[in-house]
Amino acid sequence: MAGTDSAQPRDLLRFATAGSVDDGKSTLVGRLLYDTKSVLADQIEAVERASIDKGLATPDLSLLVDGLRAEREQGITIDVAYRYFGTATREFVLADTPGHVQYTRNTVTGASTAELAVLLVDARNGVVPQTRRHAAVLSLLRVPRLVLAINKIDLIDYDEAKIADIEREFTELARSLGFGDEAVQVIPLSALVGDNVAERGERTPWYEGPTLLEHLEAVPVEGPDAEAPFRLPVQYVIRPRNGAEARSADASLGDLHDYRGYAGQVASGTVRPGDEVVVLPEGHRTTVSEVRTADGPLAAAGAGLSVTVLLADDIDAPRGAMIAAAADPPEITTELDATLCWLAEKPLTPGARLLLKHGTRTTQVIVGALAARLDTEAVSYTDAPDQLEINDIGRVSLRVADPLPVDAYARVRTTGGFVLIDPPTGNTLAAGLVGDPLAAVPGTRPQG
């Protein structure tokens, strides 16, 4: 049967870790890599030597992932690190994010493309303010599924009653943020000794759920915006050489058609030859004559695939344009109501003139009124603030210089998201979500 399993195609799960500093994220990631045999023998030997030097009786698996010198010196993770590993049934891309409050922006970055998030808590501390903050961010970003990993259960002597209390508190929090019970899995584990990570722990006979790895392998993967309407931000216009010029360079190129192709990554939905589309923001309608990659024509292309689209009519669609389903296009607007995760040390105030990058288009933007700020601990909006400070989440109005085709983030994550950029430095200042993704969550609407 092993040969049969290895012949099956494996799908991909993108997931992120989040949690407070010292909750054991790096040890958990190291444990996953170690137990799935995703690290080299010399790396294990280096960790074992370093652990002995530190006087530890067992290997410190967090050293497998805390690669930066500053991280090792401080014992923390300060950047988003992407790890790639696989099992017999699935490939994984893991965004390992830091835990300090000041690095919440990294959690936003790591979770923005995740289909699942593993949120850690220390079993000794339970749900803490950073847990609530991260859960609110994950809800805001519409991460479809959560795992609450109650870590370090060996340090509370595998106390079932205490773990049940943590589960009840978090389940109530997750429901208040709009997560359905089917979207949340609670797993008590010990990353240090390996209980319920890849192997079932003998000291938790009362726990009947899956191990973390079993859950990651079996959880449904819906893909990035696969069911959403078709969207393709044009990244590059391809015009192959033809005629006498091409034949003089390479005789084989003389057979090329004189065509114009629009290359980019399908942001959402699916495109097929014959589909009616609209080129935005100008609004010209036409049909798709061909969808191809470097390997040749395709019958269909879905979200996440990089393709070249050929159109039936000679329409100008430069870099920055968007090709979209004609029957269900995005809104064209210069006025945006949006939710910002402010990531910069310098506060945001009304009237700021910045750059906004949406898809493949960058345009100037003026910040209007700051409508509200989200209290992540109370999961409710407070009155309109004078400014947004680092790690604040707030609702704002924006006016952009050029019309943009945008979707509400709650409907299409990819084309409903944008970033704000500091013009002089080019630094990213904020992650933006079109609309109010938490509006449907009871108790989070702005007051007044």
Asked if residue 349 lies in contact with residue 387, where contact means CB atoms within 8 angstroms, the answer is yes
Of 303, 304, 306, 390, residue with least CA distance to 340: 390
Distance CA 349, CA 367 (A): 8
Q: From CA 142, how far away is CA 179, in angstroms rounded?
A: 9
331-439 and 12-218 share a CATH fold: no
Q: Which residue has the higher pLDDT, 379 or 35?
A: 35
What letter does residue 296 receive in the DSSP assignment? Answer: E
pTM, to two decimals: 0.76
Shortest CA distance to 273 belongs to which of 249, 302, 297, 239?
297
Predicted confidence at residue 99, as pLDDT, reads: 61
For the chain, the C-alpha Rg in angstroms (whole number) is: 24
- Tell me, what amino acid is at 373? R
Contact 265, 323 (CB under 8 A): no
331-439 CATH fold: Elongation Factor Tu (Ef-tu); domain 3 (2.40.30)
For residue 78, what pLDDT is reported?
53
pLDDT of 249 higher than 50: no
Q: How far apart are CA 22 and CA 420, in angstroms?
A: 31
Per-residue pLDDT, 103: 64
Q: What is the pLDDT of residues 60-106, one digit of tens each?
A: 887 777 655 555 555 555 566 788 889 988 999 998 876 666 666 67
325-363 tens-digit pLDDT: 999 999 999 999 999 989 888 999 999 999 999 989 999
- Residue 4's pLDDT band, with cuts at 50, 70 and 90, is very low
Least confident of 49-58, 258-267, 326-335, 427-436: 49-58
Residue 437 — pLDDT band, cuts 50, 70, 90? confident
The class of domain 12-218 in CATH terms is: alpha beta
SS3 at position 51: helix
Q: Tell me how many helices (H) and strands (E) the chain has.
A: 9, 23
Of the ranges 19-23, 40-44, 208-212, 247-251, the best mean pLDDT one: 208-212
Residue boundaries of the structural domains of the chain = 12-218, 231-325, 331-439
Name the residue type at position 213.
Answer: L
The whole-chain average pLDDT of the chain stands at 85
Domain range 231-325, its CATH number among 3.30.460.10, 2.60.130.10, 3.40.190.10, 2.40.30.10? 2.40.30.10
Mean pLDDT, rounded, for 48-66: 78
CA 215 – CA 185 distance, rounded (Å): 8
